[in-house]
Amino acid sequence: MSQIQEDMELSTLDERSQMTTSSPSVVIISGLSGSGKSTAMRSLEDLGFFCIDNLPVPLLPRVLELTATGEERSYAFVVDTRERRFLHDAGKIIEELRQSGVDVQVVFLEASDTILMQRYSETRRRHPLSGEGTVRDGIEAERELLEPLKELADVLIDTTKHTVHTLKALIQELVSEVSEPTLTLTILSFGFKYGIPTECDLIQDVRFLPNPYFVEGLRSRTGLERDVSDYVLGFDVARDYLDKLLDLMDFTFPLYKREGKTYLTLGIGCTGGKHRSVAIGEEMARRLRSRGLRVNVRHRDRLRTVNIKQDES
Beta bridge partners of 184: 263, 294
pLDDT number for residue 55:
86
CA distance 155 to 141: 22
**pLDDT for residue 249:** 92
Sign, CA dihedral 36-37-38-40, equals positive
Each residue's pLDDT expressed in tens, for the chain with a length of 313 residues: 433 333 333 322 232 334 433 457 899 999 998 889 999 999 998 888 989 998 888 898 988 888 776 666 789 999 888 877 778 888 889 889 888 888 888 999 999 989 888 887 776 677 777 777 787 888 888 888 889 888 888 888 889 888 888 888 888 777 764 445 567 899 999 999 999 988 888 999 999 999 999 998 999 999 999 999 999 999 999 999 999 999 999 999 888 887 767 778 999 999 999 999 999 999 999 999 998 888 989 998 988 765 434 444 4
Q: All domains of the chain, ordered by start, with CATH?
A: 15-174 (3.40.50.300), 184-299 (no CATH)
Q: What is the pLDDT of residue 8?
A: 30
pLDDT for 182 equals 67
Closest residue by Cα to residue 44 from 179, 156, 160: 179
Mind listing the pLDDT tens digit for each residue in 261-308?
777 899 999 999 999 999 999 999 999 999 888 898 999 898 876 543
Instruction: Report pLDDT for 76.
Output: 92
| DSSP string across 214-263 | GSTTTTTS-TTSHHHHHHHHTSHHHHHHHHHHHHHHHHHHHHHHHTT--E
Condensed to tens digits (0 to 9), the pLDDT of residues 125-157 reads 777 777 777 878 888 888 888 898 888 888 888
Q: pTM (2 decimals)?
A: 0.54
- Looking at residue 268, what is its pLDDT? 97
Residue 214: what pLDDT?
Answer: 93
Q: Are 47 and 53 in contact, with CB atoms under 8 Å apart?
A: no
